[in-house]
Amino acid sequence: MRIIRDTVFIDPADRGAAAAIGNFDGVHIGHQAVIDLTREAAEATNAPLGIMTFEPHPRSYFSKDSAPFRLMNAEARANRLAKLGVEKLYEVPFNASLANLTPRDFAQTIIADQLGLAHIVVGADFCFGQGRAGTVDHLIAFGKEMGFGVTVAPIVALDNGNVSSTAIRKALSDGNPRDAAAMLGHWHRIEGEVIRGDQRGRELGYPTANMSITGLHPPRFGVYAVKVDVLDGPHKGTYDGAASIGVRPMFGENIPNCETFIFDFKGDLYGATLSVALVDFLRPELKFDGLDALIVQMDDDCSKARKILSDVR
């Protein structure tokens, strides 16, 4: 998959895709339905399968002081889209110039002139252009005028309501990762580089791989049964484990992170990229009277996680 971040000085070979447009935060089953329709359009027009998204996320641009909300960072999103067969990922820089484009100018400048898209697919609630004034009806009209096809994908719903990134965030905040997974079509994952911590886990007999969750929507703080993919390095592979997400109240910390203990693992993971899939919420974050009580609880957490994960592929 090619990632194109400059839409002005673009290689001619990267123009002309059939592309879905959106933020694709989480790449949930609604997004996947849009991508499936885009794949059909790509095959019908003999064009590459593309995704047009924005970086940074427009919400981050307009609300710079808002609480972290993203379900995945740009790298994790790209990894997920590549697995779905996307050939061209257009990460359009979201800046003042783009934000101030009228709907017509957005369609003409970005879609038609710069990217030369053959066909686009959007969700039924898609809005675009300055003040989000453009609707799918506008887009269809612009497509007829400017020479690109438009497909509008219906909203995907489950029994408990429409599938959306907002609903997935709520499920994670409530400590319901399986509900989130039902909407995502895959486990919710935290991806990132293993960073050096204070090595307290090693001293307790539970060495952990520490990852930052800065910028991501925080799941409910607590301990989870997890599947762990080591994405690179000599220990590349899939493992079972237990992860603690939170601020470590036992030690007076206040910056949330993810600490993962990988079962039956020996090796150095510093600098490796991990993808930690949240399978089940085991318990909330707690403060213990002493280290002995903490170790007893960790023993119990890992025992429960092993049992849960024995039935999970």
Please state, in angstroms and rounded to a whole number, the distance separating the CA atoms of residues 269 and 57.
30
Integer Cα distance of 128 and 137 in angstroms = 11
Spatial separation of the C-alpha atoms in residues 67 and 55, rounded to whole Å:
17
- Spatial distance between the Cα atoms of 81 and 75, rounded to a whole number of angstroms: 10
Phi, psi of 131 (to 5 degrees): 70, 15
The two counts, helices (H) then strands (E), for the chain are: 10, 14
Please compute, for residue 285, the number of CA atoms within 13 A of its CA located in the half-sphere on the CB side. Answer: 20
Q: Which two tokens stand for residue 258?
A: 């993810």
Tell me which residue of 68, 54, 60 sits closest to 22, measured CA to CA: 54
Give the integer Cα–Cα distance in Å for 212 and 109.
37
| Cα–Cα distance measured from residue 249 to residue 204, given in angstroms and rounded to the nearest whole number | 16
Lookup result for tokens 């935290």:
190
Amino acid identity of 299? D
Using DSSP bridges, classify how beta strands 209-212 and 257-262 pair: parallel, antiparallel or unpaired: antiparallel
Residues with active-site annotation: 259
For residue 88, the SS3 value is strand
> In 7-140, at which residue ranges do the beta strands (DSSP E only) sit?
18-21, 49-55, 88-93, 119-123
Give the dihedral sign, CA 23/24/30/33: positive
Rg (CA), the chain: 22
